Copies of this chain bind each other. A is one copy, B any other.
Amino acid sequence: MRHNSVGGSKVSQSPPVLGLGFLGMGTVGCGAARILLSHHDVIAHRIRCGLKIVQVAVRNPNKERAVSLPKAIYTTDPFAVVNNPAVDIVVEVMGGLEPAYQCLMTAIQLGKSVVTANKELLAKKGSALLDAARERGADVFFEGSVAGGIPIITALKQSLAGEKIHRIVGILNGTTNFILTRMARDHQGFAETLREAQEKGFAEADPSDDVEGRDAAYKLAIISAIAFGFRIAVDRIHREGITNIELADVRYAEELGYSIKLIASARKHNGQLELRVHPALVPKTHPLASVSDNYNAVLVEGENVGRLMFYGQGAGGAPTGNSVVADIMDAARNIVYGSRARIVCTCRPNPKIRPIDEVESRFCMRMDVLDRPGVLAKIASVFAHHNVSISSVVQRESHGDTAEIVWITHPAPYASVKKALAEISDLDVVSRVRPALWVEPD
């Protein structure tokens, strides 16, 4: 920074200029950098200081990029950026755990402000970073890490800071939402739709983080920590992916009045936290059911605020870039006003996590059975034996001697449903049982 902090009411004559150091200049980095360059005047007017990108660390400085920066500011050494005395704010958009973690730790220890869009880093190492930042009086901002352009972190950290939140449920992964939307709309299978998503750039070459729900789990760990005030270890989140969702699942769901969505859900229940990421049947009347393609949405339910929903672009350089720029502006304000660490992590450790087997929900189950008298009764009696009460059942005309039955239960503990299902799959009249799918309440 080329100017001392200014506090109080008056802004000095020559506004300060803060130096930004970028770690990474990929999709999100270019998105943020383009906004910083093209909106420079409006940004400077609003935060009453200038922002200048002074150094950028990338693996290959010669690569063609969507933003035009002077060649001289590129380096291949991320620590050179972090340690550069002209860098006031370190913007980490490189992704991955290392060297991102060591770089940000170093930046924090130097008292620099940090902006990151790295959900994996935050979900796995956020506690250490936020503890260090609080200790050092440094700032860590991470709006870009969850739900792209949707300002859910700011909403939770500030606008809902006085609220007791009961529940958050969101569609936090655009890739899987794109796939599930297209499966329902175009009546094509998972593998084919995934290939289409990869061709369009909506899915990575290695899509496993997305389709197995890890990406959504990272994001859920981040937002549920803020919402409920507890550090969340990502491996405490029950997680199921969408890789074995079949076209038939999607079509039955549509027919019964549901959309299948990969949802991320966190709920307080008798002092315990219930945390899960899985595909679910969402009633068509539910606000999340109409969130399609690569859009994201987060529904928050609180004691006073009632139902609040945030909806927008969940990924992409421009929307996520906007979130990164908003964070940079907030970081800059704190430097200019001498109020670094104005909002710090106040999460407590070790929340009580509700065992997933105890969680009660409605479930949907699909199975192939022999089409002969007494089969339906036999299966129904297994459900009854496990105290799983059935809300609706649909049996299709049989193909040959096999009939397909779809059951939807009343709320029942997950463990009971799994036990009933295991017992049912052992029946000699049952040829194939699909895993139980969760059903969201209205």
Interface on A for B, CB 8 Å cutoff? Answer: 7-10, 31, 35-36, 39, 42-43, 45-48, 134-138, 143, 149-151, 154-155, 158-164, 229, 287, 290, 302-313, 316, 318-319, 321-323, 325-326, 328-330, 333-334, 337-343, 346
> In the complex, what residue of chain B is closest to A333 when comparing beta carbons?
B342
Instruction: Using known A-B contacts A9-B134, A136-B9, determine if residue A160 contacts B326 with beta carbons closer than 8 Å.
Output: yes
Protomer copies: 2
| Cα–Cα distance between A339 and B149 once the two chains are bound (Å) | 27
**Contacts of A309 on B, CB cut-off 8 Å?**
309-312
Contact B305 A313 (CB under 8 A): yes
Within 8 Å by CB of A39, from B154, B164, B338, lies: B164
Cα-based distance from A71 to B312 in the complex (angstroms): 47
With known contacts A229-B42, A311-B308, A330–B158 Cβ distance under 8 A: yes
Contact of A329 with B161 in the complex, beta carbons under 8 Å? yes
Taking a contact as CB atoms closer than 8 A, the residue among B9, B326, B337 that contacts A162 in the complex is B326
Whether A149 pairs with B304 at a CB distance below 8 angstroms is yes
In angstroms, Cα B160 to Cα A151, docked, is: 9
Give complex CA distance A346, B343 in Å: 23
- List the B residue with the shortest CB-CB distance to A317: B304
Closest residue on chain B to residue A136 by CB atoms: B9
Name the B residues within 8 Å of A323 (CB-CB): 159
Other A-B pairs, 10, CB within 8 Å; known A46-B229, A337-B338: A39-B164, A42-B162, A45-B229, A151-B159, A154-B159, A158-B330, A159-B326, A162-B328, A338-B338, A339-B339
Among residues of B, the one whose C-beta sits closest to the C-beta of A334 is B339
**Cβ-defined contact, B333 with A343, below 8 A:** yes
Distance in angstroms from A9 CB to nearest chain B CB is: 2
Asked if A46 and B329 sit within 8 Å, CB to CB, the answer is no
Q: Which residues of B contact A337 (CB under 8 A)?
A: 337-339, 342
CA distance A31 to B305 in the complex (A): 11
| Residues in B neighbouring A287, C-beta threshold 8 A | 290, 311
Known contacts: A9-B134, A154-B159, A155-B154. The answer to whether A322 contacts B304 by CB under 8 A is yes
